Amino acid sequence: MTETLANPMASAATATTNQPLLDVRKLNKFFGGLRAVNDFDMIIYPGELVGLIGPNGAGKTTCFNMISGLYTPSGGEIILYGQNVAGLEPYEVTQMGVGRTFQNIRLFPNLSVLDNVRIAYHTHAGYSMIDAILRTPRYERMERELTEKAQDFLSIFKLERIQDELAMNLPYGEQRRVEIARALASNPRLLLLDEPAAGMNPAEIVTLMDLIHFVQERFNLTILLIEHQMRFVMGICERITVMDFGEVIARGTPKEIQADPRVVEAYLGKGATHAA
Amino acid sequence: MELDPLSLLISIVKIAAVMAWVYGLLRVMGHASKWVKIGGIIALFAVVQLAISINVGDSPILNNFDTGLLFQACTITMVSLGLNLIYGFNGQFSLGQWGFYGIGAYAAADITYRWTNGDAAGLLVAGIGVILIGVVILGLNRFLSRYRGLPVLSAFTLYLIGVIIAGVAAYYIGATLGPMLAPLFGTSDVPGILRSDLALQVVFVLAVFIAGAFAAEVAFLFGLPVLTLGSDYFGIASLGFVIVVNTLMVNSDTILPFPEMKGGRGMVGIPQVTTWFYAFFFLLLVIVVMRNIIHSSTGRAILSVREDETASKAMGINIANYKLLSFVTGSLFAGLGGGVYAHYIGFLSPGTFDFLIGFNPLIIVVFGGLGSMTGTLVAGFFWMFFLEGMLRVLLGQLGTEAPTWRFVLYPITLLLMMLVRPKGLLGSVEWGFLKRPVAPRRGGNDSARGPAGVVPALK
């Protein structure tokens, strides 16, 4: 099963570790006169798990939206495997191997859990609309394969029992898992997780950390995640980039970040370092 | 003046029978066995055919009035199914469906009208035109997909130029070849082979398909720039489209070069070829094609656009393409419906395609339930037999002006429905054939599959 699920490109990419998977250079975004992101730089190598943190309004999600193509950058380059993807349509970026989840969960509420995941297979469904209209053998075969693959994903996430439930009827934690399953089903090399632990209790967060580690190894993924929960980020990320007011204020390992006075200042305010 | 209880009873029985027939059709079509499927469809077709042709007393069980309702129910259901694909399944609020219905009706009628008058050029120009334009659109579509970030208006201009060139070419080819076939028509005294009834039947079927394809191509050109507007703005623009089409119809003999359409006076002399077989066949075709699209990966992509555009984009779906696809397909169905309708009634008046009446498919779709094909089918047939059939007849017994009351009664019905069942008559329930196929569940011991202990805290 791993063979069919894992992206063949991903394993090829890990071999050449010196080439960055994602290289963001001098990324800028203006909303009118507001400079939401200012000269954002970031390099991610294949197989890394990188965190992007910062106070509310720091521009983290804006960066995500630019990388995944939802926003067009005002300036700068986003180089994915040596190709500049800045300004491409979101569906093109996704087809190049970037999957993402959203801060406020965006499932397809009136579709079943299984259909939510099956939609992610659309771009490589393997049959055309003509096949579907005529119900050719190819349609039957590919549709069955696709459903089985989607069900494999659901069982990894322990969702197979609720495959026919409408997504909107699920509890919050399950919706999160469906969203991650759906993002993985689109066959990404780079997975962007926007606040995956939002609204979860400590026990659920521990589970989620295990889950993220598991999918990273299983699917040979590179993961970039935004998170507010320090415990979560410090516990899971290998490297962390900190943003404030649209600018990168610190980079480093979790330990370095925790000790960085600018980070503490950004989170707790000026003078906090003295108080501590 | 009072209501005749017997005719009230008969009306109710008729409506119930029609509803049962629709239910039976969907159940039979969804049957697992191939033979039950084919046999059942033929049987259900035959039942109605017999009711049309067998006389009880001095009139058939389904008299001319009822047959008319039946045919119109079939056509309006086709149109409404198309609208449901656009609005219910894809989420694009469109009022333009009636315009495509009208385009289909007039296009098909013009082809057969010319044919019966010994002019094959109509069929040739339209047929070749539709094929050439289709080739140009598909070819350009493939060619332009290589260029990223092409502004939609530039793409539209290229398509328009291509379509005009293809159209002009088709016109010259058709107009040259057409007269060459004239000898085969013979004269009205000595009819040639092309004036035979069989030839007319073939031309009729071709004309309906050409009409559908033509409506789809117009929809492509209209939808390409306009679908980039948000849903509500698109709705208003599509309303404008209906008005434009209607105005062109009213002036078809003056500003358009179609004197045989006779403008506002209405087009007469269209051969009445539509039989129950054709109405049934085309309805079935639309149901099967639409259902097969919806229950496929393409259908899921169409649905995802309705559900959440942003998430849909993030899933790698080119939402502009899928909006266009469902709009074009929906308009194709409307065009087919128009072609069938034109040849049932034999007379087309621009008044039929007025924008106010154009709300009917929208009401049917909402009444039946957005995103429910079954709902549209039931509501389409119910609409015709209840509103046009039962109420018109029954209120007619109360006096000549009384039938007007049905336009008071039915908005109230609609209002009550919206209050009681805002999701429509059937909500998202589907019957038989239209049921979404359920993937078999993975049974048994699932802890063996997933990684043990990875998600222990979550049930």
The per-residue pLDDT for range A39-56, each reduced to its tens digit, is 999 999 999 999 999 888
Residue B143, domain member (yes or no)? no
* Residue keyed to tokens 């034999």: B346
Give the whole-angstrom CA distance, residue B239 versus residue B99.
Answer: 9
Structure tokens at B223: 């939808």
- For domain A2-97+187-275, the question of CATH label 3.40.50.300 is answered with yes
- A145 lies within 8 A of chain B by CB: no
Residue A233 contacts residue A202 (beta carbons within 8 Å): no
Q: What is the pLDDT, as a whole number, of residue B158?
A: 95
Is 60 exceeded by the pLDDT of residue B457? no
Digit-coded pLDDT (tens) for A83-122: 899 888 899 999 899 999 998 999 999 999 999 999 999 9
Residue at B125 is within a domain: no
- The average confidence (pLDDT) of chain B is 89
* Residue of B127, B121, B163, B76 whose CA lies nearest to B377: B76
Residue B147: Cβ-neighbour burial (10 angstroms; 0-12, 13-18, 19+): exposed
For A16, other C-beta atoms within 10 Å of its C-beta total 10
Distance from CA of A139 to the nearest CA of B (A): 8
Handedness of CA B183, B189, B193, B196 (dihedral sign): positive
* pLDDT, tens only, B42-70: 999 999 999 998 888 888 888 888 899 99
Q: A22-31 and A34-44 as β-strands: parallel, antiparallel, unpaired?
A: antiparallel
Please answer yes or no on whether B298 and A160 come within 8 Å at the CB atom: no
How high does pLDDT run on average in chain A?
A: 86
CA–CA distance, B286 with B441 (Å, rounded to integer): 31
Rounded to an integer, the average pLDDT of B210-215 is 97
For the domain that residue B309 is a member of, what is the CATH number?
1.10.3470
For chains A and B, what is the number of CB pairs under 8 angstroms?
A: 151
C-alpha radius of gyration, chain A, whole number:
20
pLDDT at A14 over 50: no
Nearest residue of chain A to residue B326 (CA atoms): A129
Nearest Cα of chain B lies from the Cα of A268 at a distance, in angstroms, of: 32
Instruction: Report d(CA B133, CA A190) in Å as an integer.
Output: 42
Q: Please report the pLDDT score of residue A199 as a whole number.
A: 81
What pLDDT is recorded for position A191? 94
B159 belongs to a structural domain = no
More confident residue, A231 or A139: A139
In a domain, B210, yes or no: yes
**Alpha-carbon span A84 to A78, nearest angstrom:** 5
Q: Taking 90 as the threshold, does the pLDDT of residue B249 lie above it?
A: yes
Query: Average pLDDT of B277-282?
Result: 96
Q: Is A34 exposed, middle or buried (0-12, 13-18, 19+ CB in 10 A)?
A: exposed
What is the structure's pLDDT at A7? 45
Which of the listed ranges A15-19, B28-32, B391-395 does the model predict with the highest average pLDDT?
A: B28-32
Cα gap B434→B437, rounded to integer Å: 9
Give the pLDDT of residue A13: 44
Q: What percent of chain A has pLDDT over 70?
A: 91
CB contact under 8 A, A90 and B300: no
Is a pLDDT exceeding 60 seen at residue B342? yes
The answer to which of A48-62, A223-237, A253-267, B439-453 has the lowest mean pLDDT is B439-453
- Choose the closest CB to B458 out of A107, A132, A207: A207
Does residue B149 fall inside a structural domain? no
A88 → closest Cβ in B148, B314, B459 = B148
Q: Is B315 on the interface with A (CB under 8 A)?
A: yes
Separation between Cα atoms, residue B56 and residue B194, nearest integer Å? 38
- Between the alpha carbon of residue A222 and those of residues A66, A131, A139, the distances in Å are 18, 35, 33
Q: For residue A227, is pLDDT > 50? A: yes
pLDDT of residue A17: 54
Give helix A172-185 / helix A202-218 axis angle, nearest 10°.
10
**Residue A10: what pLDDT?**
43
Is A193 exposed, middle or buried (CB count within 10 Å of its CB: 0-12, 13-18, 19+)?
buried
- Closest chain B CA to residue A150: B439
Which of A114, A121, A218 is nearest residue B439 as measured by Cβ atoms? A114
Domain that holds residue B209: 5-120+181-434
Q: What angle do CA B299, B79, B385 make, to 5 degrees?
A: 125
Residue A248's nearest CA partner among A74, A25, A99 is: A25
Contact between B303 and A115 using a beta-carbon 8 Å cutoff = yes
Tokens encoding B42: 């033929």
Contacts of B21 (CB under 8 A, 6+ apart): B44, B47, B48
Q: Do the chains contact at B438 and A164, CB–CB below 8 Å? A: yes
Burial of B124: CB neighbours in 10 Å, binned 0-12, 13-18, 19+: buried
Confidence of residue B27 (pLDDT cuts 50, 70, 90): very high
Structurally, chain B folds into a number of domains equal to 1
- Distances, alpha carbon B269 to alpha carbons B261, B277, B353, in Å: 10, 22, 18
How confident is the model at residue A260, as a pLDDT? 87
B313 and A146 in contact by Cβ < 8 A? Answer: no
Residue ranges of domains in chain A: 2-97+187-275, 110-186
